[in-house]
């Protein structure tokens, strides 16, 4: 089964999984392919009657049972990082070119 996934930034990519795969199987494929943390992925089927995200307790459900089939378009969201969770790696640093940055962007926090 091949599904198309879309991240909010507009990035589209596809993932191939066997037809009997579970939601957790798909998340593992997405995580490995896109180097994303599987435990933070939220899937929202975009072309089915289902109009709400797939919940964590549905990870063991087969994709067909949650409305995902071959050719489905799925929107991909991310759970926010809990700042109190010491198991989470820190967010990556983003370099800002000072010539293009506003004064707010140039604030240094120590």
Q: Are strands 12-16 and 41-45 parallel, antiparallel or unpaired?
A: unpaired
Collapsing DSSP to helix, strand or coil, 6 comes out as: strand
Return the CA Rg of the chain. Answer: 17
pLDDT tens, 31-80? 999 999 999 999 999 876 767 899 999 999 999 999 999 999 999 999 88
Binned at pLDDT 50, 70 and 90, residue 107 comes out as very low
* CATH number for the domain whose boundaries are 2-78: 3.10.20.90
Binned at pLDDT 50, 70 and 90, residue 97 comes out as low
The size of the chain, in residues, is 110
Q: Spell out the domain ranges in the chain.
A: 2-78
Give the Cα separation of 72 and 83 in Å (integer).
34
Please say whether the beta carbons of 43 and 23 come within 8 A.
yes
Binned at pLDDT 50, 70 and 90, residue 85 comes out as low
- Mean pLDDT, the chain, whole residue set: 82
Please say whether the beta carbons of 43 and 74 come within 8 A.
yes
pLDDT of residue 81: 77
């Amino acid at each position: 089964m091949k599904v198309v996934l879309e991240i909010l930034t507009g990035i589209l990519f596809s993932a191939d999984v066997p037809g009997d795969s579970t939601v957790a199987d798909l998340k593992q494929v997405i995580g490995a392919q896109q180097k994303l943390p599987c435990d933070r992925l939220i899937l929202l089927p975009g072309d089915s009657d289902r109009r709400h995200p797939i919940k964590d307790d549905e990870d063991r459900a087969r994709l067909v049972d949650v409305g995902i089939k071959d050719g489905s378009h799925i929107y991909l969201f991310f759970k926010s990082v809990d700042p109190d969770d010491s198991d989470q790696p820190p967010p990556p640093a983003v370099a800002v070119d000072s010539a293009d940055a506003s004064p707010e962007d140039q604030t240094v926090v120590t």
